[in-house]
């Protein structure tokens, strides 16, 4: 299982949000490109970049900065505001190896399936950001986590898997940025129900013990953001996981 370092970008700066809330933003002093270089030198085999300005604007905004990071040579998956085929094409042209798509895939799965056909299953990743309602149902969040969609998650995944979907980034929003650890039950359920998909767990990783626990769930990778920035997850863990993946 790989550790994929996450870099969230807002106004060209490195930030982290709590549960996707732009009003609860923590800014870091790191230069984004130099931080990415540090992760690459630590052995990262992928980087996960989020254009938060793009997420709010509903179209990619920081493409030039994404291109500078992609130019380091390590594959980058990136998302934030992807709403059209032209958005996908612009990110791929900037050097992004895999484009992360959320709202369109949830609301218009046929459109996303057509993109899978056009660009290839390795060039796209479904962002499945989940909220649990009062009845215990998992609902997919849309529009930068500002609202919940009403799609049936199981039906959506079954349909897209039939169309070639391979990579899924999944976040339990309740755990994101809260320092409570990842939702192991959720990831074990997802990987068990859809073992043919390459699951990327996102949200809640605090330290090496969380990484070890996630390895038992069947996910292919986990995204780590704040834990790497704060040092509670040592950089050495990135290379250690890469060697055993």
Q: Which residues are catalytic?
A: 8, 129
Residue 36's CB is within 10 A of a number of other CB atoms, namely: 25
CA 38-43-44 angle, 5° bins: 80
Structure tokens of 93?
């042209």
Structure tokens of 29?
């002093």
Structure tokens of 217?
């769930």
217: CB partners within 8 A, 6+ apart: 184, 187, 188, 191, 201
Instruction: Give the span between the Cα atoms of 98 and 91, in whole angstroms.
Output: 9
Structure tokens of 211?
């990484």
Strands 147-148 and 167-172 come out as: unpaired
Structure tokens of 117?
């056909």
From the list 157, 184, 182, 181, the residue with the least C-alpha distance to 168 is: 157
Contact yes or no for 86/63 (Cβ under 8 A): no
């Amino acid at each position: 299982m790989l550790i994929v370092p996450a870099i969230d970008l807002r106004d060209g700066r490195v930030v982290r949000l709590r549960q996707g809330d732009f009003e609860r933003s923590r800014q870091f002093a790191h230069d984004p490109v130099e931080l990415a270089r540090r992760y690459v030198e630590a052995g990262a085999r992928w980087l996960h970049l989020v254009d938060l300005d793009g997420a709010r604007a509903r179209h990619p905004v920081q493409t030039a900065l994404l291109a500078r990071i992609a130019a380091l040579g390590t594959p980058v998956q990136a998302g934030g505001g992807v709403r059209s085929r032209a958005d996908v094409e612009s990110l791929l042209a900037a050097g992004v190896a895999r484009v992360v798509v959320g709202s369109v895939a949830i609301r218009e799965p046929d459109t996303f399936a057509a993109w899978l056909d056009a660009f290839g299953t390795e060039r796209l990743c479904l962002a499945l950001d989940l909220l649990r309602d009062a009845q215990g149902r998992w609902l997919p969040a849309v529009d930068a986590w500002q609202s919940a969609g009403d799609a049936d998650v199981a039906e959506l995944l079954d349909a897209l898997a039939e169309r070639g979907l391979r990579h899924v980034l999944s976040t339990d929003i309740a755990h994101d940025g809260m320092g409570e650890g990842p939702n192991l039950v959720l990831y074990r359920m997802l990987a068990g129900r859809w073992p043919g998909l390459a699951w990327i767990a996102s949200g809640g990783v605090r330290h090496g013990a969380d990484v070890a626990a996630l390895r038992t769930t069947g996910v292919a990778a986990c995204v780590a953001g704040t834990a790497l920035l704060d040092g509670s997850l040592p950089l050495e863990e990135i290379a250690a996981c890469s060697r055993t993946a």
